[in-house]
Structure 1
Amino acid sequence: MRKTWIALMPLVIAGVAHSAQAKELATQDQYMCSWGAGTAARAQELKLSGVSLYAARQKIQVYKFAKSWMRMMALGITEQTYDSPSRFKPTAVRQSFYEDCVRYKLARK
């Protein structure tokens, strides 16, 4: 009996570890991360092209957003992007933002 438990214990531990990693992101969270990544990439494009933070904010204020939370979040993401000394390409910023957002959302579950 003891040998059976010793043999089954690694399988049980592996199963528990696998189920903990297999959490899926809700559709709304995926949308939010994807949208935020796109916003960060656009802000990085504007920053690298020499557009001032003031002008970038004005562009955001004029844009029509689908959801109420988007305008404030876009302003925050843009401001953080401009505050960063990063000179990464927008595609790298998009990828990094998305991965970090997904990691954060999964950690909160």
Structure 2
Amino acid sequence: MNVRHGFIGGYATSLIGGARITTDIDLIIDGDPKTLQTQLVENCEDFTMSSQNKLHFQSGIHTVTIEMLRGGGERQLKLPDPKTVELVELAPRSRPGRVESTFSQLSST
């Protein structure tokens, strides 16, 4: 599943050093959220849909809610088109300790 995406919200803030208040992960994607949700659930056993129709990712004993929003075009939310936004790629090596500690915070909630 090759979908351009970006993290937004509290998770994105925590990756660059800010405080995280929420435990869900918000994504802006260049594609149809429903289609991607279906693909994830069908192809990855760690993803499930809740009875409230929310996408969940199982991380060990913890469940993380994933919300996907479509960016660009004439969307009501007026999110930026992922094709036109400068993206910052983060990996554990780019912020030593930050990415790992974010997942530790998720695991402790």
Q: Structure 1 length normalisation: TM-score?
A: 0.31
Query: Normalized per residue, which structure has more helix?
Result: 1
Q: Find the structure with the greater CA-based Rg.
A: 1
Query: Normalized per residue, which structure has more strand?
Result: 2
Relative contact order, higher structure (CA 8 A, sep 6+):
1
Q: Structure 2 length normalisation: TM-score?
A: 0.31
